[in-house]
Amino acid sequence: MPGRHIHVVGTADTKGEELAYLAGCIRAAGGQAFVVDVGTRQPTIVPDIAASTVASHGGAETAAALASGDRGRAVAAMTEAYARFAASQADVAGIIGIGGGGGTSIVTAGMRDLPLGLPKIMVSTLASGDVAPYVGVSDIMMVPAITDMAGLNRISRVVLHNAAQAIVAMAINPTPAADGKPALGLTMFGVTTDCVTAIAGMLRADFDCLVFHATGTGGRTMEKLADSGLLSGILDITTTEVCDLLFGGVLPAGPDRFDAVARTRLPYVGSVGALDMVNFWAPETIPDRYRDRLFYNHNANVTLMRTTPAECREIGEWIGRKLNACEGPVRFLIPEKGVSALDIEGGAFFDPQADAALFEALEATLVETADRRLLRYPLHINDPAFAEAAVAVFRDISGA
C-alpha cells in the first residue's frame, strides 16, 4: 500500500485517546494511518490533519459556525466541510471513523459520497440501532462500539483492535478488477423474479448484470451507480417503489426516482413490475385508513396491499411525467396480462380494471418521441416471451 493512507477520523477533542490507539493498531498491522480531526474544539492529541484543515473546505460560514459556541450549528457545519474534504482526497486506501451521535453523523456524511468499493468502517455507539440515516445507499460497515467512547477500556480496546485489522486487510487486499464487461442495473422483486432472472440470463454473456431488490434502497443504489458512471444501461423492470412513495408504504423510492435516467441519458428499458402492490410490515402496522382494502400476507412480517384503479392512475401519471424528462433512449414496456406473480388470472391481485387504469394513464401522460416510446405486449410480465422482448428492445437501443 505504498503512498496510500488509511484515514482515521473522529473528534479529537473528545475521542483523542481512542483515535491514537486505533491509529497505532493500524500501523502495527502494516497500514499507514493518518488521523483526521473533525472536532469542533481544541484537540487532546496532535492529529495528522487538523480540524482547521477540514473546516477550510466549508468556507467562511463554517468558520463562523465553529466560532459561535453553538454545538449543533458547529456539528452541522463540520459535517458539510468533512464531506467536501473527503471527496477531495485522492490518496486514500480506506477510511475508518469512530464516534457517538455527533461524530457518527459527521464521518458518515463524508463516507456516503465516496465510491463504492473504497473500504469504509464506522465504529459507533449507534451501530446497533437503525443505521439507515448514516449508511444510506453506500457500503459503510457499521461496527457497534459496545461501550461508550469515554476513554479506553478492556472492551473498547478489543473492538478498536478488530476494526483496525479489518480496515488494513481491506486496504491491503483490494477487490480484483472487474472482468471488463459493461455493467447493467436491473430491478427485481419476488413477484417479478422469473422475468428479471430470464433477462439477466440472456444478457450475462455480454454484460455484468447487477440486480437490485426494489425495496427503496435498491432503486436508489442503482441510480447512484448510474450517476457515478458505473452503469452502461438500465433494465428497470420493477418500478414498485413508486407505489410506496405515493401511498405511504414502507419500501418507498425517493422523490428523485428516475432522475438519474434523465441526467445520464443511459439506455433505459422500464416496465410496470409490481405496481399492483404497496408494502407494509405486519398487519397491525397498516394505517387505519387502509383497513378495508385487499391484502395479501407475503409472510409474517410483510403485508401487501393491492393498488386501486385510482391509485394506479396516479402511479401511471407520476411515472409518465418523470419519463418525459428523459431525453436518452427510453422504452417503457407494458405487459397487458399482469404486472406481477399475484396479478395473473386466478391470482390474489388479479384486477384488469386497475391494470387498465395504470396503462391508460401511462399512455395519456408519456409524450412519445423518436427516442422515448411506450410499447404494449399481450403477455404477462413473467412470460418468457416478455423477457425476450425486453432484451431485444434493450439490445436495439443500446447497440449491444
pLDDT at 3 (0 to 100): 55
How far apart are the C-alpha atoms of 18 and 97, rounded to whole Å? 11
Residue with cell 498491522: 29
* Residue listed under C-alpha cell 464521518: 107
pLDDT for residue 276 is more than 60: yes
| pLDDT higher than threshold 80 for residue 318 | yes
pLDDT band with cut points at 50, 70 and 90 for residue 123: very high
Question: CB-hemisphere CA count at 13 Å for 397?
Answer: 25
DSSP assignment of 280-314: ESSGGGS-GGGTTS-EEESSSS-EEEEPPHHHHHH
Q: What is the mean pLDDT of residues 61-82?
A: 90
The residue among 92, 111, 88, 90 whose CA lies nearest residue 10 is 111
When pLDDT is averaged across residues 351-371 and rounded to a whole number, the result is 98
What does the alpha-carbon distance between residue 28 and residue 4 come to, in Å, rounded to a whole number? 16
Cα gap 194→54, rounded to integer Å: 49
Percent of the chain with pLDDT over 70: 99
27 alpha-carbon distance from chain centroid:
32
Helix axes 71-87, 60-67, angle to 10 degrees: 150
Q: For 249-263, how does the pLDDT look when each residue is reduced to its tens digit (9 = 90+)?
A: 999 999 999 999 999
pLDDT at 306: 98
Predicted confidence band at 1 (pLDDT cuts at 50, 70, 90)? very low
**DSSP string computed for 140-151:** PEEEE-SS-SSS
**pLDDT tens for each residue of 219-248:** 999 999 999 899 999 999 999 999 999 999
Which of 68-82, 170-184, 369-383 has the weakest average pLDDT? 170-184
**What is the 8-class DSSP label of residue 49?**
B
How far is the C-alpha of 193 from the C-alpha of 371, rounded, in Å?
Answer: 28
**Grid cell for residue 384:** 418468457
Please name the helix (run of DSSP H) or strand (run of DSSP E) that holds residue 68, with its range, or none: none
- C-alpha span between 283 and 170 (Å, rounded): 42
For Cα atoms 239, 242, 245, give the angle at the middle one, nearest 5 degrees: 155
Residues 6+ away with beta carbon under 8 Å from 385: 377, 379
- Predicted pLDDT at 2: 44
**pTM score, whole prediction:** 0.86
- For residues 54 and 107, the answer to whether their CB atoms sit within 8 Å is no
Cα gap 52→62, rounded to integer Å = 10
Q: Which carries the bigger pLDDT value, residue 190 or residue 180?
A: 190
Give me the percent of the chain exceeding a pLDDT of 90. Answer: 91
Residue 237 to residue 243: CA distance in whole angstroms: 14
Q: Which amino acid is at 363?
A: E
CA dihedral 86, 92, 96, 97 (to 10 degrees): -20
Q: Which amino acid is at 65?
A: A
List of domains in the chain = 5-172 (3.40.50.12020), 183-398 (3.40.50.12030)
Instruction: Identify the residue with better confidence: 146 or 4.
Output: 146
What average pLDDT score do residues 146-160 get? 95
Residue 172 has pLDDT above 80, yes or no: yes
Phi-psi region of 151 (alpha: psi -120 to 50; beta: other; left: phi over 0): left
Do residues 351 and 305 make contact, with C-beta atoms less than 8 angstroms apart? no
CA distance 76 to 83: 11
Rounded distance between C-alpha atoms, residue 140 and residue 135, angstroms = 6
The DSSP-derived string for 192-209 is GHHHHHHHHHHHTTTSEE
pLDDT band per the 50, 70, 90 thresholds, residue 178: low
* Residue pair 45/18 in contact by the 8 Å Cβ criterion: no
Residue 127, pLDDT > 60, answer yes
Q: What per-residue confidence (pLDDT) applies to 96?
A: 98
> Span 127-141, mean pLDDT?
94
Please report the sign of the dihedral spanned by the C-alpha atoms of residue 379, residue 383, residue 388, residue 394: positive
Q: Using DSSP bridges, classify how beta strands 295-297 and 303-306 pair: parallel, antiparallel or unpaired.
A: antiparallel
Residue that the C-alpha cell 441510480 belongs to: 223
What's the mean per-residue pLDDT of the chain?
A: 95
